[in-house]
Structure 1
Amino acid sequence: MAKELVGAPVGRREFIALVINRYEARKGDEIERIAEDVRALLEKLDGDHRASDIAAFKDALLKWDRLAQPLQVADSVLGIDEPHSRDLFRSIREHCIDLANNKSQNTLAMAILEIGKPVFNELPDASASIDKDIYALKDLARGERLEAALSPLKLLVDTASRDFAKLGREVRLPRISHQHKAIMAALDEALSSGDPETSAIAVAMIRGLAIKLANDVEDNSGALAITTSLLQRQGRLPSETTAQLQKDHVALARNISFSNMMDALKSGNLSHAKTLANSLAANADGEEARSIQNILHLISERQKKSRNGWIWTAVILGGIVAIIALSEKNSGSVSNYDPPSQYNDTSTAGSVENILANTESNSEEASIENKIQNDGVAADDEVSIKENRPPLYSIGTSFDRSQVRYCMMQKARLEAANNVSARPTEYKIQQFNLTVDDYNSRCSNFRYHNDDMTAVQQEVNENASRLRSEGEALVDGGY
């Protein structure tokens, strides 16, 4: 009947309004008395209550709702909140706010609001407020749940992050490593919740350790050991998490194979290097496949050459540099494993050829290399634009502008040296090969800020003539 207040003929509306007013006059005191009972039962819900207290509160609230329903409907038709209902709702909401903010009882506050939601559904403002409150409380409850499930693991991960060298050693010995056992036990505890979100976050925390081992300290073997331990639990992991870990495993295994291939080349074990290169080529595609084929070609050519001949390294100088651009506009962190970038472009072939050239160097290498190092420093001092030579074997490191400048300007010098028309002496070839090898050991794989690279490229263009002269002096003079 109350719903007919809108749209009914004037006489009908007046009759309905009279009935509702008489109903309120007769039932108003009882509605308020039961409302006080509801408030009294509400005060008992403080976290130390019994399950029966929740049930008693719900029963009283539903009893109150049966009496207040006609008044709620009548006022909701008019677009307003019924006064008795509005006052009780405020009492309930204030109690829930106190539970959440002052007593950390988010789950209880949400349960009370869920009970009240259908009761106050006819109150336009109250209904919208309850929906917002329940959404906020669900998010807080989620945070509480995740913190309770993950805090032991987080403590262990934070401790492990303080010493990656130690972590890398210990993860290789999982049966005797207390640290590794503790981390995996905490992971198993988190996985036992059966909650997909908790499981995914727990794995991501440990995967983060593997990422840092691989990217920051270049310990691919340690990262692979952690990834293997995670995959041993794939039956309890979300499918997308397992898929990501499997990709990580493949990338890390290939990085290790590539590193082993490079070590074999450096030691002169060309047969083993060729076996590893063939293994890498089997699963490569695109640019990576072409790069590995170049490596195989270089190894084959090296095996054919006489040991008395010199290799003119700069023939493929254009492939020396492999630079991975890392956008750091938002942060400097790396959110994934570095791809096997050492072999994903033709720059790898340049590095390999330099290594092959070094296997032919004679006992004069040390003195020649020292001369090159000293000459390079002297040249740097004479250049008005500061060039800082990066450390040796700084693969994957983020370079500052002065280090980027050294790499790009030295590349320009080496390219100029390659274009010298005169046939250099064997000694000059050897000297040049060592310079290229030194360059590759410092600049073959690094990260940079886009702004730094843009500025340095402009500087290289502006100093092209000087850099060309300095490069030509590498094989035809004294730079």
Structure 2
Amino acid sequence: MESANFSIFLNAFSILKAGYASNHAEISDLVEDAEFDEQHSQEFIQRSQQALLSPIARLDQELSWLPELSTTQINEIGSLLEAGKITDLREAIAFLPDLPKANVLAHLCGTESADETLLQDLLRAWDDVDQLALLEFLNSQRQAADFPKIESSQLAASIRVLESTHARSAALSVWRLDEPGKVMERLVEAELKRDRASRILAEFVREYDILSEPRLARISEAIDQQIELARQPTQQLEAVTSEIAELLRQWDDVNQPVQVFEQHQGHEEGRSKQIYERLRSLCLELANERGEFRHAKRLSEALLHTFPELESVAEVLKGDVEALENLDEQQKKFSVLEPLVAACEAAKSQVPKLKSALQSSGFAPARKGAVKEIFAAFDTAAKASGTGDAAFLVVRDLALFVNNDRNDPETAFRLIDGLITYRGAKPSQDVSIKLDEERSVLHRNWKMPELDRQSGNLGGMAKVVDEMLKYANGNDRAELVQLKSRIERKQAGKKVKWLIYGGIAAVIGFFVISDKLDRPTSRTSYQPTTTYQPSTPRQTTTSPSSNTSAETRPPVGQGLALNRAQVRYCVFQGERLEAMRSLTTTNYQISQFNALIDDYNSRCSNFQYTSGVLSSVRREAQGRTAEFTADARRIVASW
């Protein structure tokens, strides 16, 4: 009795109203009764007769009816089925043996009363089907009906056929429900969470998969059509990727239960993997050949959402999404920065105009001139989301170019100062610190020549020193503070002090001017795929002298490189000369003093030294004022 849906009504025992113990003669009489009643066609009646008279075919009918039940129970179940009293029927079968219960539930799968709960009950009714009890029951009934007994292997084979029949009936029932894919997914996941899944689950999933094939074929064909559209250069990718994402959602709605089951079995669903491979190929093409990172990312995200159960590709997709997200962000960032990069590159060939504009209005909004385009583009980029430090680094690159390649620290300073004082978005702490350091260096590079030109002009030097102190940091600031103090003392001194200052100022002034002032030496080009990394200053170390107080008078000359002992002489001798200032009273003493100044200037007015040596020696001189004063007194007393 074959049918798409399992039906107890189409069982040979039901059609002929036979019992498990009905023998050949009784079956013949029942056939005549059935023909007389005319409730079934002659063909059905004859096929039912053949099925019950054949020992092998009879087994399938015995299992798919209501085994192990009494005649009363069978009649009650039959009456409830015919009356369609589903609630009463569900109560009546609650405590029946598992196989007749499963047969009733499978029968109900073909009716409008089928729902998710009924399907779950059917799956679990197969948990404890007792084949030994069935074998004993059927053989006892066959013995009474004078039919040959069956073997356990025959029973097992016939049960497997019945399992497939129930599974197909259940799968057909799923497809008659609303949202069949979601119902099936819940059923599969619930079974897989149990210690022992239903024995018909695998067959149930297989039958569902077979029934889903026509729908999946249509979706696959539609995806291929969209892939071809996406490869056309004039196609609107937004619409195509949206359609593909929707098709993947539809695929997932249908195929997700199968993917979940296959994953649990350690397999990957083959058709889904083929869809993945075709779409990932499109993603790579969009990203690598056309630079369409946003659309490639959207497709990769849709694939990852649809196929997380494909374990061999899930990690690949995660990597794709992350890489494409970075590329998309960089592309967005560069599109925002592109006008700024172009404006800065153009300014590199017009540094004089840039300098004039910065002197006029600074790095700020301007109506016209070289600064207008740069600042407007910078302001837009700095305010844009996700650009981070990039806008600041692009302008910084221009400043470094102007300083290093065009030897114009003033213009470079004004650019960096404009970045620091910008009222909009602020750069990261690392970049802020770097900009502050570079502003200090650039300002020093700018003002040092002016300080050199003012040498001997105390008022002019004092003014320049005040300007330099505004941006000076660290040791530079300490040295400038000392120089300012000395200038102020000189300005208030006597005539002899002025004479002395002619030498002392040259020394002190030179200590600042001739210092190897580091200016930025590396250019930073904007690379949209990298992030800013603050450079680490190289530390210079010097080995201490074996005699930390040794002084060596340097040779006469200008611009000579002095060692620590020679620098120490210049510093210490300068302190002694400063102490002599108030001790010289006679013309002879003043003449001798000026001779020492001339000698001192010939050796110490212009020299070079290793970075850090001067500040170190000056620290040595601190606290030795009494010693220098005593030396000064001995020298003056010897005249």
Query: What is the TM-score when the length of structure 2 is the normalising length?
Result: 0.48
Matches within 5 A, 1:22-421: 22-46=207-231, 48-49=235-236, 51-161=238-348, 164=351, 167-173=354-360, 178-191=369-382, 194-198=383-387, 200-213=389-402, 219-227=408-416, 229-230=418-419, 234-236=423-425, 247=436, 251=440, 255=444, 259=448, 262=451, 265-266=454-455, 268-270=457-459, 273-274=461-462, 290-303=478-491, 304-307=493-496, 309-311=499-501, 313=504, 322=515, 407-409=561-563, 412-413=565-566, 415=568
Kindly state the Cα deviation for residue 301 of structure 1 after the two structures are TM-superposed: 3.4
Take 1:324 and 1:274, find their aligned partners in 2: how far apart are those partners? 20
Structure 2 SS opposite 1:266: coil
Against the structure 1 CA distance between its residues 99 and 275, is the aligned structure 2 distance closer, same or farther, given a 3 Å change threshold? closer
* Alpha carbons 2:344, 2:398 under 8 Å: kept: yes
2: CA distance between counterparts of 1:3 and 1:54? 30
**Alignment deviations for residues 197-254 of structure 1 (CA, whole Å, 9 cap, x no partner):** 3363122211232345456766453234324554675235568699669947974797
CA contact (8 A) 2:397 2:524 kept: no
Residue 152 (structure 1) shift:
3.1
Corresponding residue for residue 429 of structure 1: 597
Rounded to whole Å, the distance in 1 between the matches of 2:570 and 2:435 is 45
Structure 1 337/432 Cα, relative in aligned 2: closer, same or farther at 3 Å? farther
Distance 2:462 2:535 in 1: 26
Q: Assess, with a 3 A threshold, how the Cα gap between structure 1 residues 317 and 160 changes in structure 2: closer, same or farther.
A: closer
Q: Distance in 1 between matches of 2:507 and 2:375?
A: 51
Q: Does the CA-based 8 Å contact 2:483-2:509 persist in structure 1? A: no
Task: Say if 1:5 and 1:17, in contact at 8 Å, map to a contact too.
Answer: no
Q: 2-side partners of 1:26 and 1:219: how far apart?
A: 78
Gap change, CA 1:437 and 1:165, over 3 Å in 2: farther
Q: Deviations over 1:27-51 (max 9, x none)?
A: 2343233222222223323462265
Q: Secondary structure at the match of 1:197?
A: coil
Structure 1 residue 56, shift from structure 2 partner: 3.1
- SS in structure 2 opposite 1:30? helix
Please report how far the alpha carbon of residue 16 of structure 1 lies from its aligned counterpart in structure 2 after TM superposition. 0.6
* Alpha-carbon shift at residue 137 of structure 1 (Å): 0.9
Which letter maps to 1:190? A
Mean Cα deviation higher: 39-48 or 425-434: 425-434
Residues 62, 280 of structure 1: alpha-carbon distance in 2 compared, 3 angstrom cutoff: closer
CA gap 1:327/1:293 in 2 versus in 1, 3 angstroms: closer
Q: Secondary structure at the match of 1:262?
A: helix
Q: Equivalent residue of 1:34, what SS?
A: helix
Query: Relative to 1, partners in 2 of residues 1:293 and 1:41: Cα closer, same or farther, differing over 3 Å?
Result: closer
Distance 1:289-1:62 versus aligned 2 partners, 3 A rule: closer
SS at 1:14's partner residue?
coil
Q: Distance in 1 between matches of 2:264 and 2:227?
A: 29
What SS does structure 1 have at the residue aligned with 2:606? helix
For 2:344, what is the secondary structure of its paired residue? helix
Partners of 1:30 and 1:8 lie apart in 2 by 30
Deviation at 1:180, TM superposition (A): 2.5
- The answer to whether the 8 A contact 1:41-1:53 is kept is yes
Q: Which runs of 5+ in 2 are unaligned?
A: 1-186, 526-532, 538-554, 577-588, 613-639
Residue type of the alignment partner of 1:100:
A
Q: CA separation in 2, counterparts of 1:33 and 1:278?
A: 81
Residue aligned with 1:198, SS: coil
AA aligned to 1:155 is: A
Per the TM alignment, residue 96 of structure 1 is displaced from its structure 2 partner at its CA by 0.8
1:317-361: CA deviations, max 9, x gaps? 996774568999xx787998999xxxxxxxxxxxxxxxxxxxxxx
* 8 Å Cα contact 2:570-2:604 kept in structure 1: no
Map Cα deviations across residues 253-276 of structure 1 (whole Å, 9 max, x no partner): 974996598368525143x54466
State the SS of the aligned residue for 2:200: helix
Alpha-carbon distance between aligned partners in 2 of 1:40 and 1:131, rounded to the nearest angstrom: 26
Q: For 1:15-26, list aligned pairs within 5 A.
A: 15-26=200-211
Give the distance between the partners of 2:479 and 2:347, measured in 1 at CA.
37
CA contact (8 A) 2:441 2:518 kept: no
Instruction: Trace 1:463-474 onto structure 2 (pairs within 5 A).
Output: none
Q: Aligned to 2:605, what secondary structure does the other structure show?
A: helix
Q: Which amino acid aligns with 1:17?
A: A
Which of 176, 182, 188 does residue 2 from structure 1 map onto? 188
User: Once the two structures are aligned, what percentage of the paired residues are identical?
Assistant: 18
Q: 1:165 to 1:432 in 2, by over 3 A?
A: farther
CA distance in 2, matches of 1:325, 1:278: 20
8 Å contact from structure 1 (residues 164, 213) kept in 2: yes
Unmatched 5+ stretches in structure 1: 340-370, 377-388, 390-405, 448-479
User: Structure 2 CA distance, aligned partners of 1:87 and 1:337?
Assistant: 49
Q: Give the drift of 1:127.
A: 2.1
Shift of 1:118: 1.7
List per-residue Cα deviations over 1:41-94 (Å, max 9, x = no partner).
233234622654444333322222121111101011123321111111111111
Amino acid at match of 1:197: G
Whether the aligned pair in 2 keeps the contact of 1:211 and 1:336 (CA below 8 Å) is no
Q: What is the CA–CA distance in structure 1 between the aligned matches of 2:306 and 2:339, rounded to whole Å?
A: 41
Decide which structure has the larger Cα Rg and report it: 2
Q: TM-score, normalised by structure 1?
A: 0.62
Return the alpha-carbon distance in structure 2 between the equivalents of residues 41 and 164 of structure 1: 53
One-letter code of the match for 1:223? A
